[in-house]
Amino acid sequence: MRSFIRGFRFAFEGIIHCIKNERNMRIHTVAALYVLIFARFFAFSKTEYAILLLTIGGVLSAEAMNTAVENLADKITKEKHPHIKAAKDAAAGAVLILAVFAVGIAALLFGNVEGFREMYYFYTTHPINLAAIIILAVISLVYIIAGPSGIFKKK
């Protein structure tokens, strides 16, 4: 049981490492947050929500695997080598492929004009909601640019 729990700890450490050290992971986590926030305005079925969650999980997982490949490759050698370059490029390409298809899935799921009307109404008729989403946008930008390490640096 102890090793089972340790496995989860190591997995969470890996996720935290990706978030702290990879700007693209922070971009993906912010995009996922906004997708989930805005999804409430669309009448998604359980299946559509499942597709949305699988897509988000796929992109975040691919980014984590890309980070793993890059870190391992950099540990093996810092010298330029065609095989290392090919491995790193392929891992980055895998993330790009999944991200492009994720945008396609988002276009299909969020293609409902009525959802955008509801969102517009929600934010324009409730100033506190508009203020909250603007504040969240600013926090998101700081998080993406500085990362959690940059935000919470100890002096």
Catalytic residue among 13, 22, 48, 63: 63
pLDDT tens profile 18-41: 999 999 999 999 999 999 999 999
Tell the residue number behind the tokens 């999980």, with chain if given: 57
Query: Is residue 81, in this structure, part of any structural domain at all?
Result: no
CA torsion sign for 106, 69, 139, 40 is positive
Query: Is residue 73, in this structure, part of any structural domain at all?
Result: no
Angle at which helices 113-125 and 127-151 cross, to 10°: 90
Domain that holds residue 141: 2-62+99-149
pLDDT tens profile 39-82: 999 999 999 999 999 999 999 999 999 999 999 999 988 888 99
Query: Is residue 75, in this structure, part of any structural domain at all?
Result: no
Query: Is residue 89, in this structure, part of any structural domain at all?
Result: no
pLDDT tens profile 86-98: 999 999 999 999 9
Domain count, the chain: 1
Neighbours of 93 (CB within 10 A): 11
Query: Is residue 50, in this structure, part of any structural domain at all?
Result: yes
Q: Annotated catalytic, 63?
A: yes
Query: Is residue 72, in this structure, part of any structural domain at all?
Result: no
